[in-house]
Structure formats: C-alpha cells, structure tokens
Amino acid sequence: MINHESDPKNASQEAQTGEQKANWQTLTVAEEEHLERLDAFLVRHYPKFSRVKLQRAIAAKNVRVDGQQAKSSTRIKREQSVEFLPPQPEPEGTIPEDIPLNILYEDDHVVANNKPPSMVVHPAKGHWSGTLTAALAFHFQQLSTIGGATRPGIVHRLDRDTSGVILVAKSDTAHIDLASQFEKRIVEKEYFALVSPAPNHDRDIIDKPIGAHPYQREKKAIRIGHSTSRSASSFFEVIERYRGFASVRVKPKTGRTHQIRVHMAHIGCSVLCDRLYSGRAKLQLHDLTRKSQDQTTLLERQALHARNIKFKHPIDGRDMSISAPIPDDIEKTEQALQKYRPLT
C-alpha cells in the first residue's frame, strides 16, 4: 500500500524543499514481505527504477525504515513503514537560462568558452539547472544535435570545479570533425595547476591506467588489469616551486575522467583543494603564514584550469590555439605562495 503524504518532521526532512516533501511516499511492509531485503522490496514496488538506482537512493538517505536511515541489505519486518523519495525524472531537453558566457572565440561553426568553476557542463543527477548547456541554449540559436537533447553543442567536458577553455560545436559537421580530432588525439590541451607538495622531478610522464574506484563511486583510481581500466597518459612540468607547493603545466595525452587529478594524486602531489583526491577543500591564508589571525580564504575549489587548447578548425583546417587567462582565485593563491612560501 502506498500513501502520498508530507515527509515526517525531523531534522533531515527540514532540509528538503516543499516540493520534495510532497513527493515522499510511504509503504507498509506486508506479511509476505517479512525479512525481505530493503532494495529487493523497493524493486518490486518501483519497477521503473533499476536496482542500482534504488540502492543509490538508499545510500543518498532518500529511504527510511520506521523513520531511520537504512542500508540496501537491511531486512525489513512486517508492518514496518518504508519511506521513499523517488529520484527526480531527468529533463527531456535543455531549458535555456540567461547565464552570462565568457566567449574566447566564435565563428559560424565553433565557440570557445571560458568556463567558470562551479558550473556543470551538462545536466546530470542533482544538477538540472545552471549548466553550461542551459547558457548555450539561451545565447545561440544553433548548436550541434549529436550529443542529444541535454548536451547541445558539447564535444568534450570539464569537471565542475575545473575552469578554463572548452570547445562547443555549432553544427553537426563541426561536431563530427572535432570529435574525430579528440579520438585521434590531434587536439592538444594544456592545464595549469597548483599542487601540494611539489613533485620530485621537474618534468615527467605519468602513464597509468585509470578505472572505477574500488569502493567510492564518485572517484576514479589507478587500476591495472581491471575491467574498467583505460590507458591514460599525462605529461607535467614544474613552472615554479614553493615551500610545500608548486605550479605545474600538465598536458594530458588522453582524456579520462579526473585524469589529471588522479595522476597527480598518484605521485603524491595532489591538485590543491581537490575535495576528492587531496583531503583539503579550502585553503586559507593562515595555512601559509601559520598565523591564526589570517582567516582570509584563498581557494575553495580545485586549483586546476584548462589554459589552452590547440586543434584544427573543423571546416577550413586552420591551426587554432585558444587560451583562457588564469582566474582570479588561482592567481591570488599563487601570489600568496610567492609572498609567503618562496624557496629562498
């Protein structure tokens, strides 16, 4: 039996929006469902959702048994109350939003945009609005359709908190050619990063396969011989060294998810303020000066910036090189390193 009702009053529910509260559903465990696994119980009642998706909902604390958080393996009992907040349906297309764009280059076929940090490239779970594609759909009448309704114009992507230059195709012809260049590794990308500590070598190539993390779904990891592993290669070069830090130039040969972040963490020099791979989410001035009164926040996102991209113009074959200036937060952080953490 399913009852549509408001979410019960407790601390976790107060954080939900009014719309979410209205969507919570309550089921009562029947006699024949006694001691059944929670995830199996939900699969039977919500067949439109996959078991994996329901397990993720449980992990995200969107399922409760008698008002308490539970695990997928929890054995439910007769007459218990199971509360469930169904995942939000994915939008069928991109909804245009009036979000400013920082255009670095534009013609009839290609756009190069300087993506700010904290912007998701295309809609995904938990990020249906405020995306780059929503901004593109508002500002441009024509974008390539090959990526589908939710990814108009998108040829490649940058992580949410990585800033810098990203290419967008206006036409399907341009999209096909650019995608081919990425596949054939004709496109050359250069990133600027601040890392900690400084690498042992001035320059090196990190050639390690990357695959799914063994137990953290949102992360990637170095996986040798694993079914999810894909070859990955990154060249890095130290630009300047500081005490405990360094600025580096990174040129990835491949384009795996989180590649630079995983590779730099692998050699013990994580990208600064990388929430997933460095163990630090914020850098304040006192972290450099060792003075407790210096509470100024310097950085609150990973210090990784797509600085330059080189490619062949998809229509006329011209050599193209487009750069995005270093953003203020990373620049101010490096200035602080130069002032408070010089080698001499």
Tell me if the pTM is above 0.85: no
3-state secondary structure of 130: coil
For the record, the structure tokens of 276 come out as 């997933």
Which of the residue ranges 48-62, 151-165, 250-264, 320-334 would you say has the lowest mean pLDDT? Answer: 48-62
List phi, psi (to 5°) of 278: -110, -20
How far, in Å, CA of 302 to CA of 299, rounded? 8
With 60 as the cut, is the pLDDT of residue 207 above it?
A: yes
With 50 as the cut, is the pLDDT of residue 155 above it?
A: yes
DSSP state of 37: B
DSSP state of 307: E
Look at residue 23 in the predicted model and tell me its pLDDT: 86
The DSSP code sequence of 32-52 is GGTT-BHHHHHHHH-TTS-HH
Nearest alpha-carbon partner for 148 in 90, 69, 192 = 90
How far, in Å, CA of 280 to CA of 265, rounded? 12
140 vs 17, higher pLDDT = 140
Peptide linkage before 152 cis (omega within 30 of 0): no
pLDDT band at 14 (very low <50, low <70, confident <90, very high): very low
Look at residue 48 in the predicted model and tell me its pLDDT: 83
Asked if 251 and 235 touch (Cβ cutoff 8 Å), the reply is yes
With 50 as the cut, is the pLDDT of residue 9 above it?
A: no
With 90 as the cut, is the pLDDT of residue 230 above it?
A: yes
Nearest alpha-carbon partner for 151 in 175, 182, 183, 181 = 175
| Mean per-residue pLDDT over the chain, rounded | 90
With 60 as the cut, is the pLDDT of residue 17 above it?
A: no
Mean of the pLDDT values across residues 71-87?
A: 93
Mean of the pLDDT values across residues 26-44?
A: 93
Look at residue 291 in the predicted model and tell me its pLDDT: 85
The DSSP code sequence of 67-115 is TEE--TT-B--TT-EEEE-PPPPPPSSPPP------EEEE-SSEEEEEE
With 50 as the cut, is the pLDDT of residue 15 above it?
A: no
Q: Is the dihedral of CA 70, 76, 79, 85 positive or negative?
A: positive
Look at residue 321 in the predicted model and tell me its pLDDT: 98
Digit-coded pLDDT (tens) for 247-301 = 999 999 999 999 999 999 999 999 999 999 998 999 999 999 988 788 899 999 9
Digit-coded pLDDT (tens) for 300-341 = 999 999 999 999 999 999 999 999 999 999 999 999 999 999
Domains of the chain plus CATH, in order, are 2-84 (3.10.290.10), 90-184 (3.30.2350.10), 186-311+322-344 (3.30.2350.10)
Asked if 317 and 177 touch (Cβ cutoff 8 Å), the reply is no
Look at residue 11 in the predicted model and tell me its pLDDT: 38
How far, in Å, CA of 116 to CA of 166, rounded? 10
Instruction: Please list the active-site residues.
Output: 159
Look at residue 125 in the predicted model and tell me its pLDDT: 64
Mean of the pLDDT values across residues 71-100?
A: 87
Mean of the pLDDT values across residues 5-28?
A: 55
How far, in Å, CA of 154 to CA of 187, rounded? 15
Look at residue 4 in the predicted model and tell me its pLDDT: 36
How far, in Å, CA of 106 to CA of 82, rounded? 53
How far, in Å, CA of 208 to CA of 25, rounded? 46
DSSP state of 10: S
